[in-house]
Structure 1
C-alpha cells in the first residue's frame, strides 16, 4: 500500500532499518503499513499505564487501522454512548494497551461508573472522559477503579484543572486544535509534575511542537480508509487501466 503518496501526512515518513538489522536481527519486527514518526519514540518521555510506557496513541476504533499501525496504544473514543461490546472487542483484538472512553456530555453519572468498572474488568489500561464530564462523576469513578483516568481538556484555567486533579484525574489530554501547544505549555507551567498528553496534529512540525511544549505522549489520528484506498486505486488505474 502506497501510504507515502498521502501528501503532507506524517504517516508518509517510513522508519528506516539498517542492512545489518534486515539481515541479521533475530527478533525481527513486522513492519506496519502505518508507522508512527520516529521523533515520538526518540523524544517523548512517555506515560506509565499499567506498568507500560506509552509514547504514542492511535485515535481509532477501526480494527483494520488498529491492526496495521505500530502505535504503542489505542485511544478508543467515539461520539456515541460507550458500549461494553465495543470495549471488550477492541481490548481483545488490539494486542496492545487500550484507553476507553466512558463519558462526556451525554453519558455521565451511574452509566459512566458502570462503563469504567467494566472497562477495567475487561483489561483496559485506562479510561478517558471528555470535556463536559463533571468532577463529581470523576470522583465516583475514582472510588470504583484503580486504572488511570484521563481527562480531555481545552483550557489551561488553573481552577478548572485543579478541580479535575482533586477529583481523581491522573492525566490531561490536551486537544485544543491550533492552541494545543500553548495550552500544554501553560499547564506544564502551572502543574509541572502533572502528566500531559496531546493531540499531535497533521504534520511533523505540530507533533514536534507538542513534544517540545512538554507532552509526554502524542495522540495520532490515522488517515481515513477513503484516503488509503485512493492511493491504492490511483496505482491500480495507472497500472491496469488499459486492460
Structure 2
C-alpha cells in the first residue's frame, strides 16, 4: 500500500519499479508504504557499514515505521538514556543495519561505554553520540569497540572537528537545520574524503543541497503517526462518510 500524504513532503514520491526488478528481484521487498526519494539512491555515494553501502537512514525507533519504509538503515536515537532492551529489540526486528545512540547530554562516561559495548555485541552497525558528548568519552569507547563511531555536529569549526576525529570519530552526522548543507560543504573542504552524512530536512531541495555539498548519506525523518492517521481518516470519511 502506498500512502499519499496530504503534505508538502518528499515521502509522497513514488519509485518506479522497472521490469527487471519485477521479474528478477522477487526476493527483495520494494513496495513499501513510505518510499525514500530516488535522488538519494542515484546521487549519494553511500557509507560502508557492516560491508553494506548505505545511502538512506530512517530517524526512528517506531517499529511500524521501520517495517513500512525502504530506507537502507535505521538511526535509533531518542531523548532518553540508551536502553539495552530497545537496542536489542530494534536490531532483532529491523532486518537492516541499526546505528544506536549511546550518549549525549544525559548519558556519558561509563554508562555510554557499556552501551557501546552492548550495541556491538548485539549486532549494531555503528553507534552515534550527540553534540555535547565529550572527546574523552569518545576515546574510551574507541578503546573498547571496533564499530564505526558517528558524531552529530552542528558546526564546522576546525579544532572542534579535529578533536573528535583524533578521539576516534569515523563519521560526522550534520544536523544544522537551515545551515546543514553549508556546514557539510565546509567540513568537506576542511577534511577531504572524511565521511559525512546529513539530516535531509523537509524537502527534496534540501536533500539535493546536502548531497551536492558532499553528504554521502541522508537521514530522513518520517511523518508522525498523527499525520499518517489524518491522511487515512480523511480518505475514509470521504469514502464511507
CA deviation after TM superposition for structure 1 residue 27, in Å: 2.3
Instruction: Give the structure 1 partner of residue 9 of structure 2.
Output: 9
Deviates more, 1:28-37 or 1:111-120: 28-37
Q: How many residues align?
A: 240
**Cα drift, residue 18 of structure 1:** 3.5
Aligned mates of 2:12, 2:212 — CA distance in 1 = 22
5 Å-filtered alignment, 1:1-243, equals 3-19=3-19, 21-22=21-22, 24-25=23-24, 27=26, 29-30=28-29, 31-241=31-241
* Pairwise CA distance, 1:26: 5.2
Deviation of the 1:225 alpha carbon: 0.6
CA positional deviation for 1:169: 0.1
| Residue 26 to residue 169, structure 1, CA distance change in 2 (3 Å) | closer
Deviation string, structure 1 residues 91-134 (Cα, Å, up to 9, x no partner): 00000000000000110000000000000000000000000000
Q: Is the 8 A contact 1:2 1:232 kept in 2?
A: no
Q: CA deviation at 1:7?
A: 1.9
CA distance in 2, matches of 1:219, 1:123: 21
| TM-score after normalising by structure 1 | 0.96
CA RMSD of aligned residues (A): 1.2
The Cα of 1:25 is off from its aligned counterpart by: 3.4
Structure 1 Cα separation of the partners of residues 143 and 19 of structure 2: 52
Using the TM superposition, give the Cα deviation of residue 20 of structure 1 relative to its aligned residue in structure 2, in angstroms: 6.0
Q: CA deviation at 1:193?
A: 1.5
Q: Deviations over 1:64-88 (max 9, x none)?
A: 0000000000000000000000000
Where structure 2 has 5 or more consecutive residues not aligned to the other structure, the ranges are none
Partners of 2:2 and 2:32 within 8 A in 1? no
Cα separation, 2, equivalents of 1:19 and 1:196: 34
Q: Name the SS of the counterpart of 1:179 in structure 2.
A: helix
Alignment partners' CA distance in 2, 1:21 and 1:2: 18
Tell me the SS of whatever aligns to 1:69. Answer: coil
Query: What's the offset of the Cα at 1:2?
Result: 5.7
Residues 160 and 97 of structure 1: is their aligned pair in 2 closer, same or farther, counting only changes over 3 Å?
same
Which residues of structure 1 form unaligned runs of 5+?
Answer: none
TM-score (norm 2): 0.97
Change (3 A) 1:10 1:136: same
Q: Is 1:103–1:128's contact at 8 Å kept on the other side of the alignment?
A: yes
SS state at 1:96 partner: coil
